[in-house]
Structure 1
Amino acid sequence: MTAQDAVPVSLAEIARIAGVGRAAVSNWRRRHDSFPARIGGTDVSPQFSLAEVEQWLRDNGKLGDIGGRELLWPRFEALGSRNESGLAIAEAARLMRTPRARTTPAELSAQARDLAVQAAKVGRDEGPRDTFDFLLQRWLETHVRQLSTTPQPLAALMARIALAVRLGPVENGLTLLDPACGTGHLAAAAMQEYDIPGGLEVLACERDPALAALAAGRLGFLAEEHGIRPQIATADTLRDDPFAGAKADIALCNPPFNERDWGYEELATDQRWMHGLPPRTEPELAWVQHLLAHLKPGGAAVVVLPPAVASRKAGRRIRSSLLRTGALRAVVSLPPGSAQPHSVSLQLWILRAAPDSPVASAAPDQNVLLVDATRFARPGTREPSPDWGSLGSFVLTSMATLDDLDQDPPTGAVRLPLLDLLDDEVDVTPGRYTAAMTEPSREELALKWGDFGSLLTDLADHAQRLSALDFSTETSQTATTVGDLVKAGALTLRAGQQPLESAETVRGADVPLLTIADLLHDGTPRGEVPTASAPAIAEEGDVVVAGVARAFKAWVHEGPPMALGPQLYVLRVDPERLEAHFLAGCLYAPTNGRQAGTHASSSSRVDIRRLQVLQLPLEKQMAYAETFRHLRAFEALLTASDISGKGLASDMSDRLAAGGLTT
């Protein structure tokens, strides 16, 4: 058996290759005696030969339009070493861009070199950049616990902040520095966000050779598209700066956290420490000063830091100097889940070199902008994640007030004089100062009480109407299932899926995308996809069902067309036989969801075809539909009253704790 034949694949990987669900592969294995035999793994998690699986899929017409990329990845993964597979993907990218390249990295094995050549051929057939992006994404997903990457929305936000804060014209182009670039997430975001007259020069550095090579591959493709000049160096930036003396207009950085061996002893007399030698336990402040040392006058830097850097006693003296010189212009507290580690509320520090010199004294009336954006988390999801749209809008709106003293920062942000920060602690944690700025005024409280009273009045009206309903004691009526209605042609059923392209990378998207995560948050779609890449689109009047226990729900869609993500379903009724609101009301019954679910956990799926619907003539459906509408309105009012009442209780607590009660 050759090395290629020995590449193992799981049932899940076979399903991905064939473009089907894992259950379909298990079914093939049971029904077809010719299905390849297991070569490893266990009975529960068997593994098969990739070569044998590929041949079987071809012989049985199961590959369809699936391209060669899916067949490539298991071979890269079989290389075993994270570094070798990463370098092989980077070499494939180089060969895709320069097909006549003759030299190959000496550190690659013969198997890795052959695989890079094979991947380059697939890339030339199916699109070089798409193939590279696919392999890079799979590599990052496989080694996610060993790597720290910057999510694309955060990288884009950092790039926008830096351009907004920087002083000076951009007619002659800009220079961007990323001294800890990883696989190039920040530089790539900047390349895509900036449309700079005169072009963009990128100076990037990474000490891990595999990451640096992958960054070179990624930025190389973007350079060809945007006419950008990237330079990627492999070095330990703090100890051996490959761009010493270079000056940048903008710097973006997501440095490694909590590293003790960052060069404290050998760098004790380094000229970059203009604000003081960083303590051994404060490597993040070394990165901050490294960025400042590379900024042109008026240049801006945005760096991701752990929250403890804002308040640790060891860094107090350097924080004080950063504030006094005007280098630290703003601090933004991000919601948990913005980047790794996802359980921590990370911060963005926004730095700017003085227009006339890298370090100069701040003006006596200098202010610092502190922004608490932690409230823009998306509740209800398993993993913490921000509401990137609202978060980005809030932060950029806050940044617009940084130098405009006539404009007040929005609620949740505060502009503080230096004297309010230069105390014994020099704590620049935004939440410490913004909390006191959010207490509602007497007028605001009065308005909220009025809104709450209106909600209670409407709620009482609906309660009176619904409580007057009477139910007969006759035997319950017969019911049918969604599956039977589909067979009878009374409705059609389509399942939502992950779009062919992610909502973050699609340009010119024209239809909103709703996911289960959006539904658990507030029901507002936050993605967009092209209509052609959305397998299920809900039109006005269609019934939408969430087929997962923790978010089980059914409703009639109103408004413009909307694409559906995984575990969401669209049902389109025949209006001559079914009324949409009647159908949605029947489906939404809690007992219906429990009866059709697996009961395994809150994440279990609901079998949509097993959901039951009353068998009634169309004229009787109309009466039920009207009542279902009132019930949904009652439910919405209950939710709104709950949110409004809890908000009032919180606001009243803040006002009472602040004193001033008159009796």
Structure 2
Amino acid sequence: MTAGDIARLAGVGRAAVSNWRRRFGDFPAPVGGTASSPLFSLAEVETWLRAQGKLQRLPEDELLWQRVRNSADDLRLLSLVSRLAAAVAHRRLGTLLRGEDSEIAQALPELVAAEGDVPLIRATAALAEARGREETVEFLYTRYTEAHSRRIQEISPEVAQLMAALIQPWTGEVFDPSCGHGGLLIAAGSEPGKVRAVGQERDAATARLAGARLAVRGIDSDVRRGDALTGDAFPGLQADAVLCSPPFSERGWGYEELAGDPRWRYGLPPRGESELAWVQHCLAHARPGGQVVVLMPPAAAGRRSGRRIRSQLIRAGALRAVVALPSGAAPQSAMPPHLWLLRRPAAEDQVPSHVLMIDATVSPEAVVPTWHSFVTDPRRETVPGGRAVPVVDLLDDEVDLTPGRYLVRPVTSPGGMAGAREELLSATAELTGLLPTGSESPRDPFSMISLGELARAGSLQIVPGPLRTEPGPGELAVLTAQDVVLGRAATGRGTGGPGLVVAQPGDVVTSLSTRTPAARVIEEKTALGPQLVLIRLDPELFDPHFVAGFLRASARQPAGSAPGAARVDVRRTQLPRLPLAEQRRYGRAFQRLERFEEALRRAGAAGELLSRLALDGLASGKLQPDPEAGPGPSRDVL
């Protein structure tokens, strides 16, 4: 079991488990895994937790999961989970609970693959009888995705719900040709009885699990195994709507063998543009007038190789809208993905004159109302939350469908022009009072010593931050490198884990990047994220602001001969040998300089905002110039 499993058993956070490992010498030693992701014995952990009074009774679901986890290795875990889920989803629980092992094995030949599967099926059925089929199947699915979080690229529930909302309200048949674990079909079938869900998935175990998740929700479904492009399991299907989150940038999607396929009505997809093959596959399986929503990588909107197909989609009236989603919406892409909203043209349709462009990074909640407003009147260019772009403007040499190219994001300020002016005046007034001062009289060169030498002497400690932090919505606040650069409170969140580094008040934290050199004195206890180094000082020997100031100065002059070195070698940072009283004098000067730099950043940001507000206001007619304003620098132009 992992540290996360232990935390769930005891009802605590991951940070507590890490703390136990450090504090208690009798905590069970790892029996497998790696240094960063150790595995522990369930029996040993259970014994230790009971001895410490931290566990009264093992939860039934966690006990089942540990039995499942210990019955299959990583490669066979999905197969086992899907078979257990399918058993409780499609079979009578009474039969599974009270039947003989041999009878169950004979009745479920496709679900019993190894010795020991029947007791696990019986245990899963017992949990389903106590807690319900849906909760049990979702528990197994959730635990599996957590165990393989780095391998599984699953669409988020929020994006799935958005895609489903774009085709509602309606009743009928919805198809997902790359359905994964069934997330999009579940979102579309949120009202059982109105939708029949049809899906295809390459991996047999994944398809089985998707079918089980749909069945326990009461959604009429048909999920089959196979590659939808090269082995279409539903060749005659004409669905009312198609939702799809296809794999991105696949080169082996079947270019050679499918060159003459009738699905390519809008052009043969280029070898490197598998997404355009999926778009046309989805359109081929929609009835005339049926809706299609496909999650796409942003590059597909402007790649030169795909411009002919994009052009044909527009000319035929198949492409109706493109929505730019926020970053992180698609696990396959580090860049903000797009949604392509399409409609299979019907014989009586007129070719639309406009394509809707929406930027959902500003207000995601406005996407659905904006789309419905456009559908009501597709010729109106001014659409709240987006812009209806004339087709003629899209059909140029590039056929670029990137929404940001056609949308101008308005510059806004809570206080408007007056608020921006006041902020600029306040920041510049503060700047005047913080102008750096100091005597320019020369002094003898410092006698220097490196932090590495001081660390070896035991005068301070240098502790690198973790290589990574366990992501999650846990209670642990994590200071990021960007937080240190901007001088703000911790904005990261995590669940702790091995290698956790916690900074205490008086510690100095520095960023390893020289692009934005920064060092900061910690005022409140906080955990550190990656790309940070902690320096813990002896307060009888060092002033922390003195040390932070010289770290910042050193970071602006990267060590090493390579130009543009990108990391700071903290141990090579040189400090002057000065008495503590003199260090404090320098520390106060460094603090004042930090406040000056912060005021300078505020003034720059306020000045840029004021300039953009004035420019947009004058250009849009919302702001009138002073009729008596002259060109001289002493006049107030606005």
Same fold (TM over 0.5): yes
TM-fit CA distance, 1:234: 0.7
5 Å-filtered alignment, 1:81-230, equals 81-82=73-74, 84-97=76-89, 98=91, 99=93, 100=95, 102-105=107-110, 108-163=113-168, 170=170, 173-192=171-190, 195=191, 199-223=194-218, 228-230=219-221
Are 2:477 and 2:527, in contact at CA under 8 Å, matched by a contact in 1? no
TM-fit CA distance, 1:20: 2.7
TM-fit CA distance, 1:218: 0.9
TM-fit CA distance, 1:450: 3.2
State the Cα deviation string for residues 255-311 of structure 1 (Å, max 9, x = none).
011112212222222221111222222221111111111112221110011112112
Are 2:283 and 2:292, in contact at CA under 8 Å, matched by a contact in 1? yes
Is residue 350 of structure 1 aligned with residue 341 of structure 2? yes
State the Cα deviation string for residues 593-633 of structure 1 (Å, max 9, x = none).
6264577879999xxxxxxxxxxxxxxxxxxxxxxxxxxxx
**CA gap 1:62/1:550 in 2 versus in 1, 3 angstroms:** farther
Task: Identify the match of residue 64 of structure 2 among 32, 50, 72.
Answer: 72
Task: Identify the match of residue 319 of structure 1 among 295, 301, 310.
Answer: 310
**CA gap 1:151/1:356 in 2 versus in 1, 3 angstroms:** same
**CA gap 1:318/1:45 in 2 versus in 1, 3 angstroms:** closer
Q: Secondary structure at the match of 2:320?
A: strand
Q: Measure, in 1, the Cα distance between the counterparts of 2:148 and 2:30.
A: 26
5 Å-filtered alignment, 1:300-449, equals 300-356=291-347, 362-363=351-352, 366-373=353-360, 375-376=361-362, 390-394=363-367, 396-405=369-378, 409=382, 413-434=386-407, 437-438=408-409, 448-449=416-417
**CA gap 1:31/1:16 in 2 versus in 1, 3 angstroms:** same
Q: Measure, in 1, the Cα distance between the counterparts of 2:489 and 2:58.
A: 33
Q: Measure, in 2, the Cα distance between the counterparts of 1:29 and 1:345.
A: 39
Q: Measure, in 2, the Cα distance between the counterparts of 1:245 and 1:396.
A: 33
Give the AA of the match of 1:250: A
Q: Secondary structure at the match of 1:319?
A: helix
Give the AA of the match of 2:324: S
Q: Report the equivalent of 1:594.
A: 523
Q: Secondary structure at the match of 1:163?
A: coil
Q: Measure, in 1, the Cα distance between the counterparts of 2:531 and 2:309.
A: 49
Q: Measure, in 2, the Cα distance between the counterparts of 1:413 and 1:208.
A: 39
5 Å-filtered alignment, 1:237-316, equals 237-316=228-307
**CA gap 1:462/1:280 in 2 versus in 1, 3 angstroms:** closer
Higher RCO (CA 8 Å, separation ≥ 6 residues): 2
Are 1:398 and 1:409, in contact at CA under 8 Å, matched by a contact in 2? no
Give the AA of the match of 1:594: E
Q: Secondary structure at the match of 1:331?
A: strand
Give unmatched runs, 5+ long, in structure 1: 1-8, 165-169, 377-389, 464-501, 504-512, 522-545, 555-564, 568-590, 606-636
**CA gap 1:80/1:657 in 2 versus in 1, 3 angstroms:** farther
5 Å-filtered alignment, 1:438-587, equals 438=409, 448-453=416-421, 552=489
For normalisation by structure 1, the TM-score amounts to: 0.62
RMSD of equivalent CA atoms: 4.8
Identity of aligned residues (%): 38
**CA gap 1:140/1:566 in 2 versus in 1, 3 angstroms:** closer
**CA gap 1:368/1:220 in 2 versus in 1, 3 angstroms:** same
**CA gap 1:392/1:596 in 2 versus in 1, 3 angstroms:** closer
Give the AA of the match of 1:269: G
TM-fit CA distance, 1:160: 0.7
Structure showing greater Rg:
2
TM-fit CA distance, 1:329: 0.3
Q: Secondary structure at the match of 1:110?
A: coil
Give unmatched runs, 5+ long, in structure 2: 97-106, 432-471, 496-519, 535-598, 632-638
- Greater mean deviation of Cα atoms: 398-407 or 81-90: 398-407
Q: Measure, in 2, the Cα distance between the counterparts of 1:145 and 1:43.
A: 17
How many residues were matched structurally?
491
TM-fit CA distance, 1:39: 4.2
